[in-house]
């Protein structure tokens, strides 16, 4: 068996995370670096050309060009020739500026491609990874919070790569290049110009921590707001049914105000941070001009050298100010990366290389099963078996552990090593591949989930290769075929979100039909007939019995009439097996089954008498 590739992350830092996510996008990254280098190089040429024109063309400084260029210019006529052809120098200046702009445009284009490629890869990895995370993980987090991380936090990382990361590389290159050139022109003035760099880095480091903390709180507030919105929109029918629109609006307003308050705090901190950076940049620029003018007046540097230096410093003014802002954005991106890494670091379900795949017949056995949710015991010493093709019914009060049995059977929850054993055809479920096990156990839940697709597409979910006739047969068995034909579009009817177009009973019957379409050898109905009437319930059970290839069936229900025709009935009480036997055996035996049967029979009799009175 080939082991599934781990889809999470192995990086321990934000930089390592981005580096890992860039896999497959290196051509854009290195192209961006090359374009950035070209743009910076040409941007440095323009001040050098201006200084040369001032000192050696307009002024009287000797012509000092690299390599053979000096001899070539002297052969043309030297300074006088350059002065007479000033338009050529102006044209060269424009070409240099244009090439610098062209490289910068190419850098931005490649940075955008890189960021979109990274965001695409990140979304794909997140979606794939989340689908393979354990059921317990999904139960511990809010859907809205996951959605916020996979949208807003991914966008934050994408924007950082497209804007701040590309700018950071450019700024660092410009800082190194500019200071090398500036120190080559005048060391004292370059030293004065470099004073602001450690200042910017120092206060940026302090603000980084504060911004990260406040942005984390703001991001968490956004996750809570998204979760609340998602929950309200999903349960809009319940809100309307109880007239709780005002209550929902008040809750939303309270959370929205908290969200806004936290973002205002982030904005206030960023305003102080950015303003401080602007103030330092302006002071540094004034210092360079004043000190440079003093040096030029006292003959320590030429006018052309001063102009060149000021142009270099001017080119650094925006990057230095931008560097402070980038560090601020890095703090926000770091928070988003941390929240995404929390998801990707969660260990997915992984099969062992020795896990088995074999034709499942449907023999199920629980042996001394014990299970707890944390410190709360749910199942204690549970043992029973089901033969292939047999129907076992399970009855028990809410919280008695009925559904937990099925979650353990399908490995949605993992049975602890010392928690007993659950076998299918004699093989421990912990030694069966999860996908294979779940494909062969059709689980129908009390609250079925239907996708916002057509009815036919929902039926095809477990059986994509089945013909429409076969799917219709499954719908007939589930007593939903006639209801489907009653829709204008029939099987092509598009369901609303979570199947809201259908009634509760229709949703359950369609979910049953979907499971039957996969023809699994084991069927589990987890109180999935609760929303259908007694007559339809009986029709479905009879249709299941009449199937040519009878599956092993486990029926979980609170309704005794649903369970009474099962081959055997198991009664759970506080996580323990209290009774097991046929309907006829259990109604004669004092215990919870007899009490529940008598109570439900009495209620049904009273309801029938009332209907007869109303009818008269």
User: What residue has token string 């019914």?
Assistant: 393
Strand order in the sheet with 376-386: 376-386, 364-373, 421-424, 427-428
CA pair distance 176, 18, nearest whole angstrom: 24
CA pair distance 410, 170, nearest whole angstrom: 54
Pairing label, strands 441-444, 427-428: unpaired
Report the pLDDT averaged over residues 193-200.
Answer: 78
Kindly tell me if the per-residue pLDDT of 5 is higher than 50: no
Which of 125-129, 389-393, 458-462, 560-564 shows the lowest mean pLDDT across its residues?
560-564
Query: Which pair of tokens denotes residue 584?
Result: 């006829």
Whole-angstrom CA distances from 170 to 41, 95, 173, 312, 321 are 11, 21, 5, 15, 13
CA pair distance 33, 110, nearest whole angstrom: 9
Which of 100-104, 259-263, 444-448 shows the lowest mean pLDDT across its residues?
444-448
Q: 184-188, 221-225, 328-332, 365-369: which has the highest mean pLDDT? A: 365-369
Which of 3-17, 46-60, 440-454, 520-534 shows the lowest mean pLDDT across its residues?
3-17
Contact in structure between 476 and 547 (CB atoms under 8 Å): no
Residue 364: band (very low, low, confident or very high) from pLDDT cuts 50, 70, 90 = very high
Coil, strand or helix at 494: strand
DSSP strands (E only) in 446-551: 522-526
Helices 504-517 + 468-477 axis angle, to 10 = 130
Query: Which pair of tokens denotes residue 148?
Result: 């916020």
Contact in structure between 154 and 122 (CB atoms under 8 Å): yes
User: What residue has token string 């980084």?
Assistant: 208
CA pair distance 153, 159, nearest whole angstrom: 10
CB atoms within 10 A of CB 288: 25
Whole-angstrom CA distances from 152 to 123, 156, 230, 254, 339 are 11, 6, 15, 21, 11
Q: What is the pLDDT of residue 568?
A: 93
16 vs 104, residue with greater confidence: 104
Whole-angstrom CA distances from 505 to 110, 499, 539 are 54, 11, 14
Q: How far apart are the first and last CA of the chain?
A: 69
Q: 68-82, 370-384, 588-602: which has the highest mean pLDDT? A: 370-384
CA pair distance 570, 556, nearest whole angstrom: 10
Residue 9: band (very low, low, confident or very high) from pLDDT cuts 50, 70, 90 = low
pLDDT in tens, 345-356: 888 888 888 889
pLDDT in tens, 312-324: 777 777 776 676 6
DSSP strands (E only) in 529-607: 552-556, 568-573, 576-581
Kindly tell me if the per-residue pLDDT of 325 is higher than 90: no
Q: 85-94, 223-232, 275-284, 312-321: which has the highest mean pLDDT? A: 85-94
Q: What is the pLDDT of residue 3?
A: 43
CB atoms within 10 A of CB 501: 16
Residue 237: band (very low, low, confident or very high) from pLDDT cuts 50, 70, 90 = low
| Partners of residue 52 on adjacent β-strands | none
Q: What is the pLDDT of residue 151?
A: 83
Pairing label, strands 364-373, 421-424: antiparallel
Query: Which pair of tokens denotes residue 496?
Result: 């609303």
Residue 598: band (very low, low, confident or very high) from pLDDT cuts 50, 70, 90 = confident
Which of 176-185, 427-436, 457-466 shows the lowest mean pLDDT across its residues?
176-185
Report the pLDDT averaged over residues 517-530.
Answer: 83
Residue 429: band (very low, low, confident or very high) from pLDDT cuts 50, 70, 90 = very high
Which of 324-338, 452-466, 548-562 shows the lowest mean pLDDT across its residues?
324-338
Query: Which pair of tokens denotes residue 538?
Result: 């009986």
pLDDT in tens, 119-172: 888 888 888 898 888 888 888 888 778 888 888 888 888 888 777 777 777 777
Q: What is the pLDDT of residue 92?
A: 86
| Partners of residue 444 on adjacent β-strands | 525
Kindly tell me if the per-residue pLDDT of 114 is higher than 70: yes
Contact in structure between 287 and 309 (CB atoms under 8 Å): no
Pairing label, strands 552-556, 391-396: parallel
Residue 613: band (very low, low, confident or very high) from pLDDT cuts 50, 70, 90 = low
The pair phi, psi for residue 586, each rounded to 5°, is: -75, -30
Q: What is the pLDDT of residue 204?
A: 73
Residue 420: band (very low, low, confident or very high) from pLDDT cuts 50, 70, 90 = very high
Residue 548: band (very low, low, confident or very high) from pLDDT cuts 50, 70, 90 = low
Which pTM does this prediction carry? 0.69
Q: 269-278, 344-353, 421-430, 492-501: which has the highest mean pLDDT? A: 421-430
Kindly tell me if the per-residue pLDDT of 183 is higher than 60: yes
Which of 65-79, 127-141, 498-512, 570-584 shows the lowest mean pLDDT across its residues?
65-79
Of the candidates 268, 262, 265, 271, the residue with the CA atom closest to the CA atom of residue 223: 262
Residue 383: band (very low, low, confident or very high) from pLDDT cuts 50, 70, 90 = very high
Contact in structure between 525 and 552 (CB atoms under 8 Å): no
Kindly tell me if the per-residue pLDDT of 418 is higher than 50: yes
Q: What is the pLDDT of residue 4?
A: 45
Coil, strand or helix at 382: strand
The pair phi, psi for residue 146, each rounded to 5°, is: -60, -45
| Percent share of the chain, pLDDT over 90 | 12
Q: What is the pLDDT of residue 123?
A: 87
Query: What domains lie within the chain, and their CATH numbers?
Result: 14-345 (1.20.1560.10)
CA pair distance 41, 178, nearest whole angstrom: 10
CB proximity list for 155: less than 8 A, separation 6 or greater: 119
| Partners of residue 552 on adjacent β-strands | 522
Coil, strand or helix at 504: helix
CA pair distance 418, 273, nearest whole angstrom: 57
Q: What integer best gives the mean pLDDT of the chain?
A: 81
């Amino acid at each position: 068996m080939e082991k599934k590739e781990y889809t999470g992350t192995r990086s321990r830092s934000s930089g390592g995370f981005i580096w890992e996510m860039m896999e497959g996008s290196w051509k854009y990254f290195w192209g961006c670096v090359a374009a950035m280098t070209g743009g910076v190089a040409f941007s440095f040429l323009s001040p050098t050309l201006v200084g040369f024109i001032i000192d050696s063309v307009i002024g009287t400084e000797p012509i000092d060009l690299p390599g053979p260029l000096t001899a070539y210019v002297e052969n043309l006529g030297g300074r006088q020739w350059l002065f007479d052809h000033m338009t050529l120098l102006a044209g060269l200046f424009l070409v240099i500026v244009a090439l610098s702009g062209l490289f910068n445009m190419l850098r931005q284009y490649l940075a955008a491609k890189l960021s979109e490629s990274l965001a695409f890869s990140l979304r794909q990895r997140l979606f794939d990874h989340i689908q393979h995370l354990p059921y317990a993980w999904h139960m511990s987090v809010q859907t809205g919070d996951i959605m916020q991380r996979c949208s807003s936090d991914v966008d934050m990382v994408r924007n950082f790569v497209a804007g701040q990361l590309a700018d950071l590389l450019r700024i660092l290159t410009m800082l190194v290049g500019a200071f090398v050139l500036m120190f080559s022109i005048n060391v004292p003035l370059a030293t004065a110009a470099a004073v602001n760099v450690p200042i910017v880095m120092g206060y940026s480091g302090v603000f980084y921590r504060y911004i990260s903390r406040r942005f984390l709180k703001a991001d968490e507030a956004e996750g809570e707001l998204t979760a609340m919105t998602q929950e309200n929109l999903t349960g809009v029918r319940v809100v309307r049914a109880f007239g709780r629109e005002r209550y929902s609006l008040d809750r939303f307003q309270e959370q929205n105000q908290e969200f806004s308050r936290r973002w205002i705090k982030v904005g206030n901190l960023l305003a102080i941070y950015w303003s401080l950076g602007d103030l330092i940049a302006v002071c540094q620029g004034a210092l360079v001009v004043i000190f440079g003018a003093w040096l030029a007046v006292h003959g320590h540097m030429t006018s052309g050298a001063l102009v060149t230096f000021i142009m270099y410093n001017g080119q650094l003014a925006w990057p230095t100010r931008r560097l402070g802002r980038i560090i601020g954005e890095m703090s926000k991106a770091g928070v988003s990366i941390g929240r995404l890494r929390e998801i990707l670091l969660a260990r997915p379900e992984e099969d062992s290389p020795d896990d088995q795949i074999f034709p499942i017949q449907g023999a199920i056995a629980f042996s001394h099963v014990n299970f707890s949710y944390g410190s709360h015991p749910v199942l204690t010493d549970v043992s029973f078996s089901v033969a292939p093709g047999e129907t076992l019914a399970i009855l028990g009060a809410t919280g008695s552990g009925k559904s937990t049995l099925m979650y353990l059977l399908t490995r949605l929850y993992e049975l602890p090593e010392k928690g007993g054993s659950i076998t299918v055809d004699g093989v421990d479920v912990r030694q069966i591949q999860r996908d294979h096990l779940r494909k062969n156990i059709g689980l129908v839940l009390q609250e079925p989930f239907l996708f916002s697709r057509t009815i036919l597409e929902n039926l095809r979910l477990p059986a994509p290769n089945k013909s429409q006739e076969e799917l219709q047969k499954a719908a007939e068995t589930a007593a939903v075929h006639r209801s489907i034909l009653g829709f204008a579009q029939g099987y092509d009817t598009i369901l609303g979100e979570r199947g809201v177009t259908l009634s509760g009973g229709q949703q359950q019957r369609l979910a049953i039909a979907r499971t039957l379409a996969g023809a699994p050898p084991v069927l589990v109905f987890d109180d999935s007939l609760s929303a259908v009437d007694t007559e339809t319930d009986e029709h479905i059970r009879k249709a299941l019995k009449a199937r040519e290839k009878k599956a092993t069936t486990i029926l979980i229900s609170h309704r005794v009439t649903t369970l009474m025709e099962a081959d055997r009935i198991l009664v759970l009480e506080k996580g323990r097996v209290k009774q097991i036997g046929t309907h006829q055996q259990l109604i004669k035996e004092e215990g919870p089954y007899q009490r529940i049967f008598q109570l439900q029979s009495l209620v049904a009799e009273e309801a029938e008498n009332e209907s007869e009175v109303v009818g008269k």
